[in-house]
Amino acid sequence: MIAIPGNAGLATGGAMALAAVVACIVSVATRRPGWKRVARLCMLASAGGFFVSGLALATALAGADLGLAYVASHTELALSPAFRLAAFWAGQEGSLLLWAVLTSGFAAGAVMCRKAVAGPGEAVTIAVLAG
């Protein structure tokens, strides 16, 4: 059952990152600064989606939910909860999810702090961070 919010978080995170890139392209093409606000909000939603997905995997690992293939292949019931949580980055899928959670979180933080990305290349910076 935990797979549903995890997959929804992944889909949301990816779609919102793509939407942020598109909003930045529209902002540069039309010279309308309102699209940069849309891109910032999309970055925030992307980070939220990836965070929900990471939280779902961490919950499945901590609870030893062997119904998920990732949990079943990287953990055992005999492991302590700390070692089961460490299995988050034991496989390629978990490592990439952890990377997505961390980078989208840092990117959303940088984008929401206007001083970090302010200037004439703001839309390009947001698009690169979203990509």
pLDDT in tens, 29-74: 888 878 888 999 999 999 999 999 999 999 998 888 888 888 888 8
Domain ranges of the chain: 3-130
What's this model's pTM, rounded to 2 decimal places? 0.88
Cα separation of 36 and 55, whole Å? 29
How many CA atoms within 13 Å lie on the side-chain side of 43?
Answer: 29
pLDDT score for 103: 94
Q: Best-predicted range by mean pLDDT among 16-20, 33-37, 108-112?
A: 16-20
Query: Tokens 């942020």, residue?
Result: 20
Least trusted range by pLDDT, from 13-27, 77-91, 110-124 = 110-124
- Is the pLDDT assigned to residue 90 strictly greater than 90? no
> Tokens standing for 61?
């690992």
| CA pair distance 98, 88, nearest whole angstrom | 8
